Chains A and B, each alone.
Chain A
Amino acid sequence: MSTVRNIFRRRLRAFLTIFGITIGVFALVVMGSMAEKINLLIDGGTRYYSDKVIISDASTSMGAISTTPISVGRIPEIENVPGVARASASVYMLLKKDQGMSMGVPQGIMGTDMRQVGYEKFKLTMAAGRDLAPSDRGKAVVGSDVAKALNAQVGKRIELRGEMFEVVGIYNKTLTAPDNTVTISMADVQALLYAQLPSIIQQQVKPEQLATGITAYPQSGVDPNQLATTIQGTVSGVNANGPKAFTDQFKSATKIFNSIIFGVALISLLVGGLSVVNTMTMSVFERTREIGIRKAIGASHRQIVGQFLIESAMIGFLGGVTGLALGWITSIAVNAVMASSGTVLFLVTPRLALGSLAFAIVLGVGSGFYPSLHAARLKPVLALRYE
């Protein structure tokens, strides 16, 4: 109590200093929650890709998602490669033809030949309704974020690329790619994809032969990265990518975001920290006489340092709490506003919340250190004479 009262002896100054830290922590929480969201996406992706090889047509540039078709007929050839336990074809396409740039994963439509069942370890659970059955036609199961964007509910109909589909289920939130994906049957998605192809290609392919990617599941004990190299060498005209290709790609994205966070932290450290140093130094000068008295009645160096450090830690804490609260509210508000477009931008994780709070307190303590030491070193007799 006495600590708080001491800080608010100069009310305006205390508020301004705390406000400085608030802004720093606010920026840290907002930027950090964006990075946390991206990191989770990447974690999910890394986990998803960790045990498989993704095969696409060789003419497609490298990447997880291919839009140039590859023939379903290549599956036996791939399953013949030693080390491959199972190969499964899938079709992926963007939800909207002219989809612009978006943060994170774009909204998409996906269908598989179901051959992955029993091999795929990334499990999706239902929030509502049921999962897709192999015999379903004209039915869709929707990821949690895209469900919000399409206003999809079980039993309702949604439009995908001009065709109507009945929603039979909604997946639970995974915080990664499936949240932005609508799953329909292989035949349905093949038909949608076929309809988009230029007529010259349509003449050369049959819809049921269409796939955008083939996933190879390695036999147990086989390294997926090595298997990718083997497939690449054995099967002609394909690109095979193991988990390493994806983690390498993700790592650079993570690096950029983490350096943004680091930059924000550094700036708030400087601005907030300097203002705490200033406030505490002023406070020590104003209270020179009080410090003299405290020493005269038996306070040790350590006790004086402790008193002022607790005050500056408290300034950091108060700034941290308000910054965290404002940042949290902002992230919830922005997420709510953007929910209709299916974009979830921010995620305030416990480690981010606790981390920013700890950061603010450490900032307070660190900046209070010099002024506190200065206070403790005052000679009592000089301090007492000071008016």
Chain B
Amino acid sequence: MKSIISATGLTKRYQLGKDNFVDALRGASVDVGAGEMVAIMGPSGCGKSTMLHMMGCLDNPDGGQVQLNGRRVDNLGGGAITKLLREEIGFIFQGFNLVPTMSAIDNVAIAAQYAGKSRREANRLAQEALDRVGLADRADHRPNELSGGQQQRVAVARALVNGPSVILGDEPTGNLDSTSSAEVIDMMREINLTTGTTFVLVTHDPDVAEACDRVIHMRDGLVIEETAAIGIWEGAPCGTDAAVAVC
């Protein structure tokens, strides 16, 4: 499988106080194949979120390097990072992080507008993306008028709208009840399998891990173990790999 993200020997030290350091990463390496859906698990403070931020160019490592689609990205400048965030990477966060003063469709369209699309084109793409996550009829609702699960689906639509090759999720089901959580997991898996978009999800949720192809376990800033997961997708047609557990 062709590698899409390759992080090698990442180190990162945060200074908290004068003589108080935390080594978030101590030489961790992760390789993600194109079209894979991968979970990163581990106890709090193991460095999994830091790892995700570095894959998404939101933070720079102190040592090691990150490659995206074969290009080194850990040393890029502000403008190049912005371009990368617009075109190749989508983010989903635990707290949904929608802009509370904007409607669902505006929250999605803004990402397309940042990427240089006209207002009309951005709205069209946003409507399509909302359709994709089953929220076409909620386009004009503001975040506080949507359930947690619906808000997270809007966030997924926002991550999708510019057609990125990678979507990075930081605890995407962390604030959801089990029903909404299952819906969101199912939807991400469906998108992953039908569009080939790579997903890397930092999670504590075993249900998320179960839906992925592979689970990367981290502890104390290092990758300690990788396991293959079942890759459940409740909606998968029987006969495909993802359907093994359902049929």
Contact = CB atoms under 8 A, between A and B. Distances in A.
Whether both chains belong to one complex is answered with yes
Given A290-B97, A297-B159, A381-B58, 18 more contacts: A2-B102, A2-B106, A6-B101, A293-B91, A293-B93, A294-B99, A295-B85, A296-B58, A297-B86, A298-B85, A298-B114, A298-B162, A299-B114, A300-B79, A301-B78, A301-B82, A379-B59, A384-B58
A296 B56 contact: yes
8 contacts: A289-B97, A293-B99, A296-B85, A297-B85, A297-B91, A297-B114, A299-B114, A381-B59
B222 interface: no
Interface of B: 53, 56, 58-59, 78-79, 82, 85-86, 90-91, 93, 95, 97, 99-102, 106, 110-111, 114-115, 158-159, 162
Contact of A9 (B78, B101, B102): B101
A380 B97 contact: no
A5 interface: yes
A297 B58 contact: no
Contacts of A249: none
Interface of A: 2, 5-6, 9, 289-290, 293-301, 303, 379-381, 384
Nearest to A380: B58
Contacts of A2: 99, 101-102, 106
Contacts of B79: 300
B236 to A, nearest CB: 29
Given A380-B58, A381-B53, A298 B97 contact: no
Contacts of B85: 295-298
B101 A300 contact: no
A215 to B, nearest CB: 66
Contacts of A384: 53, 58, 93
The 5 closest A-B pairs by CB, nearest first: A298-B86, A5-B101, A381-B59, A298-B114, A381-B58
Contact of A299 (B82, B93, B95): B82
A293 to B, nearest CB: 4
B101 A298 contact: no
A9 B100 CA distance: 10
A9 to B, nearest CB: 7
Contacts of A295: 82, 85
A298 B162 CA distance: 10
A384 B99 CA distance: 13
B53 to A, nearest CB: 5
A297 B158 contact: yes
Contacts of B101: 2, 5-6, 9
A127 to B, nearest CB: 53
Contacts of B58: 296, 379-381, 384
Nearest to A290: B99
A5 to B, nearest CB: 4
A167 to B, nearest CB: 63
Contacts of A300: 79, 82, 114
Nearest to B53: A381
Contacts of A379: 58-59
B97 to A, nearest CB: 4
Contact of B111 (A5, A298, A301, A380): A298
A386 B234 CA distance: 36
A316 B79 CA distance: 31
Contacts of B106: 2
A9 B106 CA distance: 18
- Of listed A290, A297, A303, residue having the most chain B CB within 10 A: A297
B228 to A, nearest CB: 30
B114 A303 contact: yes
A297 B111 contact: yes
Contacts of B56: 296
B180 to A, nearest CB: 20
Contacts of B97: 289-290, 293
A2 to B, nearest CB: 5
- Of listed A6, A294, A298, A300, residue having the most chain B CB within 10 A: A298
Contact of A296 (B91, B95, B110, B115): B91
A290 to B, nearest CB: 6
A297 B117 CA distance: 14
Nearest to B95: A289
B86 to A, nearest CB: 4
Contacts of B82: 295, 298-301
B93 A298 contact: no
A382 B93 CA distance: 14
A310 to B, nearest CB: 13
Contacts of B159: 297
Nearest to B168: A296
Contacts of B158: 297
